[in-house]
Amino acid sequence: MAGARVLVHSVTGVFCPGHSDVALVSCGLERGRFLISDVPFPGSTVTVLKRPPFCPAKLGGAALGGRGGQPGVAAAVAVLLEAACGHVLLTRRATTLRHFPNVWVPPGGHLEPGEELVAAGLRELAEETGLRLEPGTFSWRLLGLWESLFPPTLSWGPPRCHHIVTYLGLRSAEPRERLQARLCPSPCEVSAVAWLEPPVLEAIAATEDGAEGSGPGPGSGPGSLPGELPATVGITELSADGFRSSRIPTGILLRRAPAHGPDLERVSTGTKFALGRWRAGPGQRERE
């Protein structure tokens, strides 16, 4: 089947009422496979499943789906790691990666068969950043599910991969400085890391990507930062000589996904969704 072209149907669209892009679903492992259902099943958890309004599957794009060129939808996990001080870790994907290069995202990757969500998140966190969290040093919660295709808009060409990403919020009992000291990012996947403070994270979450044709968003140009945000944020870049402290304009993190032309360094649309869920807190009420 490698190289075959199939119509990728939106998973979110199966559960959404009318033309909505969000639905409440039950999800969990069943017989070692990740399952999404419109009805509860043993061991399942109710959460939000969402897609962007410009989702190529929603708009009828033909694509190669699944892992290794095989048709289908792959399950993935991403981890928003929050230090005791409230800073959250994001990583900038290496420019050599095929999917979403140079885009800021949480550590994450594919869910292996039979693997529990938290175990997968901890494994990906360790593989991409070198951070290993010991049992009892963190708490976690399910933030939501995100339907992701690449390329993310049809104007960039037909989709080549299709994922449902489970976002987990992990809160460490350790301070940021101690976690930072143990970072050893994988250079083949990560080009930089950043611990972002709550005001910046809230501004990123508020800058949601809309339909194709949306503008660059607040903060994309000089002097357009909302509120009292700092003009720049500190990051740690990977180089041939090791780590290097640097700073980037805060506006880069507030960019919207461009509808046309080459992609930009920005925070991914799915990450903005996860940060919005993280910002709402563990006691939020699920709603469509």
**One pLDDT digit (tens) per residue for the chain, 288 residues:** 222 223 346 788 788 776 789 999 999 998 889 999 999 999 999 999 999 988 887 776 544 443 333 457 899 999 999 999 999 999 999 999 988 899 999 999 999 999 999 999 999 999 999 999 999 999 999 999 999 988 888 888 888 888 999 999 999 999 999 999 999 998 889 999 999 999 999 999 999 886 443 444 544 444 456 668 999 999 999 877 788 999 999 999 999 988 777 888 999 999 999 999 998 876 553 443
C-alpha 145/C-alpha 236 separation (Å) is: 29
Q: Tell me the domain boundaries of the chain.
A: 6-189+267-280
Give the pLDDT score at 73.
86
Cα–Cα distance, 281 to 279 (Å, whole number): 5
Q: Which CATH superfamily is 6-189+267-280 part of? A: Nucleoside Triphosphate Pyrophosphohydrolase (3.90.79.10)
pLDDT of residue 14: 83
- What is the predicted pLDDT for the residue at 9? 61
- Confidence (pLDDT) at 62: 47
* Structure tokens, 144: 């939501």
pLDDT value of position 287: 41
Residue type, 208: E
Contact 255, 220 (CB under 8 A): yes
Q: How many CB atoms lie within 10 A of CB 122?
A: 24
Global pTM value: 0.87
Q: Who contacts 205 (Cβ-Cβ below 8 Å, separation ≥6)?
A: 272, 275, 276, 278, 279
> Which are the contacts of 81, defined by CB distance < 8 A and separation ≥ 6?
88, 89, 106, 107, 125, 131, 170, 172, 179
In angstroms, rounded to a whole number, what is the distance separating the alpha carbons of residues 258 and 172?
Answer: 34
- List the structure tokens of 226: 């909302």
The three-class DSSP label of residue 249 is strand
Query: Residue 10 burial by CB count (10 A; 0-12/13-18/19+): exposed, middle or buried?
Result: buried
CB atoms < 10 A from the CB of 88, how many?
25
**Strands 138-150 and 74-82, sheet pairing:** unpaired
